[in-house]
């Protein structure tokens, strides 16, 4: 019916004990660069399970060592993991451990510290992005502007099914991204209290890029 609004996609908070344990370790200021990188990779594997929950399967006949049976394999063209540079690469690496056949795209954005608006400086995507489920990864969903801008560019390139995955989200970012792209499911490990005057998530875990790459 014309005039109907698309209902917002679900926001999934992963409350699994392993996820929450590793997230708490990530938050600690005393966690080293190597530890932060390792924990991010481990959490990424766990988030990938949820992000791929709705992939389609097709029945196939296979031969086990004992008999023939009907099994199931992923159907058609499958995934594209899209990292929002640079910090998204910390999640990307972990997901590729689980999904080595996935195509990979990159979108380079930085946040203007005066306006808090995203500025794009790079984009490279597979040609067949419209035929794949796109999992966009970035450690933080703060204001939501960068995530929304990245998904704008993805949809402009033909993407039709997009999921957004992050370690932490602020309520402001969830609300902004849900308004901008109500069809995009958000998967996160926690929704924190909110943003400070500089647009950082509180209590948060600091600057994820600096902590991943040792540039703080």
Establish whether 141 is an annotated binding residue. Answer: yes
Specify if 183 maps to a domain. Answer: yes
Establish whether 182 is an annotated binding residue. Answer: no
Establish whether 188 is an annotated binding residue. Answer: no
| pLDDT score for 1 | 42
* Model confidence band, residue 176 (pLDDT cutoffs 50, 70, 90): very high
Does residue 5 surpass a pLDDT of 70? no
* Model confidence band, residue 186 (pLDDT cutoffs 50, 70, 90): very high
User: Residue 43 burial by CB count (10 A; 0-12/13-18/19+): exposed, middle or buried?
Assistant: buried
pLDDT tens, residue by residue, 43-97:
999 999 999 988 889 999 999 999 999 999 988 778 999 999 889 999 999 999 9
Structural domains of the chain, count:
1
Strand partners of residue 59: 72
Q: Tokens in use for 124?
A: 């490279």
- Catalytically annotated residue among 53, 54, 112, 115: 115
Q: CATH code at 126?
A: 3.40.50.2020
More confident residue, 115 or 37: 37
Identify whether 111 is a catalytic site residue.
yes
Does residue 123 surpass a pLDDT of 80? yes
Domain interval for residue 188: 11-213
- Catalytically annotated residue among 25, 38, 111, 153: 111
Q: Tokens in use for 76?
A: 């058609």
Specify if 3 maps to a domain. Answer: no
- The whole-number average pLDDT for the span 30-51 is 94
Identify whether 115 is a catalytic site residue.
yes
Specify if 1 maps to a domain. Answer: no
- The whole-number average pLDDT for the span 31-49 is 95
Does residue 109 surpass a pLDDT of 90? no
| pLDDT score for 14 | 96
Q: What average pLDDT does the chain have?
A: 91
Establish whether 15 is an annotated binding residue. Answer: no
Q: What is the 3-state secondary structure (H, E, C) of the chain?
A: CCCCCCCCCCEEECCCHHHHHHHHHHHCCCCCHHHHHHHHHHHHHHHHHHHCCCCCEEEEEEECCCCEEEEEEECCCCEEEEEEECCHHHHHHHHHHHCCCCEEEEEEEEECCCCCCEEEEEEECCCCHHHCEEEEECCEECCCHHHHHHHHHHHHCCCCEEEEEEEEECHHHHHHHHHHCCCCEEEEEEECCEECCCCCEECCCCCHHHHHHCCC
Identify whether 33 is a catalytic site residue.
no
| pLDDT score for 121 | 87
Nearest residue to 210 via CA among 135, 200, 51, 171: 200
Specify if 205 maps to a domain. Answer: yes
Cβ neighbours for 11, distance < 8 A, ≥ 6 positions apart? 169, 174, 178, 185, 186, 188, 191
Specify if 59 maps to a domain. Answer: yes
CA of residue 157 relative to chain centroid, distance? 18
- Catalytically annotated residue among 93, 152, 183, 210: 210
Q: What is the CA radius of gyration of the chain?
A: 18
Identify whether 207 is a catalytic site residue.
yes
| pLDDT score for 6 | 57
Specify if 81 maps to a domain. Answer: yes
| pLDDT score for 184 | 96
Establish whether 38 is an annotated binding residue. Answer: no
The whole-angstrom separation of Cα 148 and Cα 9 is 14
Specify if 102 maps to a domain. Answer: yes
Specify if 2 maps to a domain. Answer: no
pLDDT tens, residue by residue, 82-100:
999 889 999 999 999 999 9
Establish whether 105 is an annotated binding residue. Answer: no
| pLDDT score for 2 | 44
Contact 189, 42 (CB under 8 A): no
| pLDDT score for 78 | 83
């Amino acid at each position: 019916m014309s005039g109907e609004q698309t209902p917002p996609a679900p926001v999934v908070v992963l409350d699994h004990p392993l996820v929450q344990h590793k997230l708490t370790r990530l938050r600690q200021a005393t966690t080293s660069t190597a530890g932060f990188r390792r924990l991010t990779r481990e959490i990424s594997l766990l988030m990938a399970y949820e992000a791929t929950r709705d992939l389609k399967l097709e029945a196939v006949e296979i031969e086990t060592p004992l008999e023939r049976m009907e099994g199931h394999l992923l159907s058609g063209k499958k995934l594209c993991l899209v990292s929002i540079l640079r910090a998204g690469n910390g999640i990307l690496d972990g997901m590729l451990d689980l999904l080595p056949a996935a195509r990979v795209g990159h979108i380079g954005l930085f946040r203007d510290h005066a306006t808090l608006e995203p500025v794009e400086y790079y984009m490279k995507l597979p040609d067949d992005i419209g035929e794949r489920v796109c999992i966009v990864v970035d450690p933080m969903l703060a204001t939501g502007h960068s995530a929304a801008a990245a998904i704008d560019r993805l949809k402009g390139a033909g993407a039709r099914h997009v999921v957004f995955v992050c370690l932490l989200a602020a309520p402001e970012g969830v609300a902004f991204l849900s308004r901008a792209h109500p069809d995009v499911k958000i998967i996160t490990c926690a929704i924190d209290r909110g943003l400070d005057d500089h647009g950082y998530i509180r209590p948060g875990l600091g600057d994820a890029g600096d902590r991943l790459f040792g540039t703080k």
